[in-house]
Amino acid sequence: MMQSRTHTCGELRLSDAGKKVKLVGWMENMREVGSNLGFVVLRDFYGTTQVVIQTEEMMKTFKSVNKESTVSVEGEVRERSSKNPKQETGDIEVVPEKVEVLGRCRYNELPFEINHSREADEAARLKYRYLDLRNPEVKKNIILRCNVVAALRQSMTEHGFMEITTPILTASSPEGARDYLVPARKHPGQFYALPQAPQQFKQLLMVSGFDRYFQIAPCFRDEDARGDRSPGEFYQMDMEMAFASQEDVFAILEDVLPPIFAKYGTYNRASEAPFKRIPYLEAMEKYGSDKPDLRIDLTVTDVTKLFEGSEFGPFQDGNIIKAVVVSDFKESRKFIDKTLADVEVQAGNKGYWFRIDENNEAIGGISKFVAPKKDEIIAALGLKANDLVLLSAGKLTAAQKTAGVLVKTFGAAVPGHMDKEQYSFCWIVDFPMYEIGEESGELEFCHNPFSMPAGGLETLLKAERGEIDPLSITADQYDLVCNGVELSSGAVRNHDPEIMIKAFELVRLGEEDVKAKFPAMYNAFCYGAPPHAGIAPGVDRMVMLLAGEDSIREIIPFPMNKNAQDVMMGAPGFVTDHQLEELHIRTVTEE
């Protein structure tokens, strides 16, 4: 028996017929059949139960209650004459003897119909999120999230990891995104920062002698929203292992994740261990992306040499040209134009096309520029009748990115090229350690500056002596990708102060700069740090994939909108002058 009720609204069955029960929940709907006959649907967290009205007095009682009020119903369970096989409690109904209003809904009109809230405007859904969450279809994603987090915790514990919480108020650190800053009242002019990730703390735990750490960690980054990223805050399953290599990290995740995806996923197929490993440069060349969706069978081919001497403007001026072949293409010219328009919006660069007809001729799009080398191009790409050839052009990065968007967009839109109902995992490995900065034009870290360079100190010394190109140095860094979504980044950490200093010297930062920017880590590493490695799969993205949702906001209990606003709570908002004075802050209004 549960407090204030004998059963839940999803519990009663035909075997309960004849019992006296007490149910509580929200009055979802009421349907009148006559002056003294009607039906009420009562809903709670667990399900729904039909309540049948048989008297004028009871009809009057229910008619005085607005939908979505919370009520208590006491009565007798009986078998329904007209059963509902779609409802778990569809074999029974409750004849009420006593009804009590526990929490009255004071509005005759709701912002949206609860069971159709997903069809409502997103602004309304976020403002009235507590109503949106009453929709069982919305609620089930939050339940899924809870179950997945519990399963992750259990599995990590079984693998010998200890859950340790790390600070929320910490120091500002240059980790790639904007910090959220918190003024320190007792230290005028100084600020805490909310952690972008527990990166430094978890590495310090390894130095402290903890062998295996994990945490369902909140992270805070002042970033713009997108489909797979929530602004403001997100959660990740952070983990770190001492005396560990890349292989150790891979083995753990390849053991932890597949059972969870098999149990909770929308799709019943998932990659088995070991996951496919793709070097970063190969991923960019073959898929046009460092987060390829391996459910799509389209790939990218470099055709720059094939189009040497082309009179087509975008193929000139030393531009790189990439091709994507879509076999057995039967869609219309209108379809091609519309999909290419979508590609241009996503990539910021145009895509081009031509087709091969039944007579082995190039037709449509830029076919007239293909004609001079038609036979050579057909042979090189192995083209057949009804093949569509998509092309991108530009500097290497732009050509690759556009080709990747062509693969993703046409692969999903053209029938037969995407085996959608599965979870396809892969590791992207061997990331470049350095790159040339777009703004600075100088050597910069490409990703994580704390990753161990492949080859260690000797590789860095060779670069310093000019024996190798620094851009050729790879890092022991890796990404886990699933269905085209980057689930997490990780790395073998650079735990040696000497190697760390040398890595930073190549980007014009010396020992004093490292000490100033990362004092705790640098000093700790000077006291004997173990080799260690880790990773942090995103919980929000993981649940989004498991639920089969396209937007990450669908699996977050109280998400912000795209402008990083909580329209339900009114955040961010203004504070009083007194609060600002206590914090020694004065705001400046832009004219």
Query: Which of 495, 492, 493, 491 minimizes the C-alpha distance to 528?
Result: 495
Q: Are 211 and 205 in contact (CB under 8 A)?
A: no
Sorted by where each starts, the structural domains of the chain and their CATH numbers stand as: 14-103 (2.40.50.140), 276-470+494-507 (3.30.1360.30)
CA-CA-CA-CA torsion for 571, 573, 576, 577, nearest 10 degrees?
A: 130
Q: Tell me which residue has tokens 């089969």.
A: 548
- Token digits of residue 465: 């002596």
The pLDDT confidence band at residue 224, using thresholds 50, 70 and 90, is: confident
> Averaged over 23-49, what is the pLDDT?
94
Position 568 pLDDT exceeds 90: yes
Position 176 pLDDT exceeds 80: no
Query: Which of 180, 11, 191 minimizes the C-alpha distance to 572?
Result: 180
The pLDDT confidence band at residue 443, using thresholds 50, 70 and 90, is: very high
Position 177 pLDDT exceeds 90: no
Distance CA(287)–CA(352), nearest Å, equals 17
Distance CA(550)–CA(561), nearest Å, equals 15
Number of CB atoms found within 10 A of residue 254's CB:
17
Model confidence pLDDT, tens digit, residues 375-405: 999 999 999 999 999 999 999 999 999 999 9
Q: Are 92 and 77 in contact (CB under 8 A)?
A: yes
Position 440 pLDDT exceeds 70: yes
Query: Which of 231, 238, 193, 190 minimizes the C-alpha distance to 213?
Result: 238
β-partners of residue 305 are none
Share of the chain above pLDDT 70, in %: 99
The pLDDT confidence band at residue 230, using thresholds 50, 70 and 90, is: confident
Distance CA(23)–CA(99), nearest Å, equals 10
> Averaged over 226-247, what is the pLDDT?
90
Identity of the amino acid at 488 = S
> Averaged over 165-177, what is the pLDDT?
85
Distance CA(51)–CA(148), nearest Å, equals 34
Confidence (pLDDT) at 340: 97
- Token digits of residue 563: 């402008």
- Token digits of residue 446: 């490409």
> Averaged over 120-140, what is the pLDDT?
97
The pLDDT confidence band at residue 2, using thresholds 50, 70 and 90, is: low
Share of the chain above pLDDT 90, in %: 89
Distance CA(484)–CA(293), nearest Å, equals 4
Position 238 pLDDT exceeds 90: yes
Q: ω before 572 within 30° of 0 (cis)?
A: yes
- The residues, any chain, with a CB within 8 Å of residue 576's CB and separated by 6 or more, are none
- Token digits of residue 591: 């004219």
Distance CA(363)–CA(17), nearest Å, equals 72
Confidence (pLDDT) at 589: 80
In Å, how far are 200, 230, 235, 475, 574 from 250, measured between CA atoms? 21, 26, 20, 16, 46
> Averaged over 520-545, what is the pLDDT?
95
Distance CA(502)–CA(456), nearest Å, equals 10
CA 241 to chain centre: 24
Confidence (pLDDT) at 88: 95
Distance CA(554)–CA(537), nearest Å, equals 18
Number of CB atoms found within 10 A of residue 443's CB:
17
- Token digits of residue 514: 């490292």
Confidence (pLDDT) at 1: 47
Position 174 pLDDT exceeds 70: no
Per-residue DSSP letter, 427? E
By three-state DSSP, how is residue 192 classified? strand
Q: Supply the mean pLDDT for the chain.
A: 94
CA-CA-CA-CA torsion for 80, 25, 119, 109, nearest 10 degrees?
A: 110
Query: Of 12-26, 233-247, 275-289, 432-446, which gets the smallest average pLDDT?
Result: 432-446
Model confidence pLDDT, tens digit, residues 323-355: 999 999 999 999 999 999 999 999 999 999 999
Model confidence pLDDT, tens digit, residues 455-510: 999 999 999 999 999 999 999 999 999 999 999 999 999 999 999 999 999 999 88
Q: Are 536 and 545 in contact (CB under 8 A)?
A: no
- Token digits of residue 580: 């600002």
Model confidence pLDDT, tens digit, residues 51-86: 999 999 999 999 999 999 999 999 999 999 999 999
Per-residue DSSP letter, 31? E
Confidence (pLDDT) at 437: 86
Position 3 pLDDT exceeds 80: no
Query: Which of 500, 591, 489 minimizes the C-alpha distance to 237?
Result: 489
Distance CA(351)–CA(336), nearest Å, equals 10
Distance CA(402)–CA(416), nearest Å, equals 22
The DSSP-derived string for 484-515 is TEEEEEEEEB---HHHHHHHHHTTT--HHHHH
Query: Of 13-27, 226-240, 311-325, 408-422, which gets the smallest average pLDDT?
Result: 226-240
> Averaged over 111-121, what is the pLDDT?
96
- Token digits of residue 26: 């929200």
Model confidence pLDDT, tens digit, residues 271-326: 999 999 999 999 999 999 999 999 999 999 999 999 999 999 999 989 999 999 99
The pLDDT confidence band at residue 448, using thresholds 50, 70 and 90, is: confident
Distance CA(444)–CA(143), nearest Å, equals 43
Position 125 pLDDT exceeds 60: yes
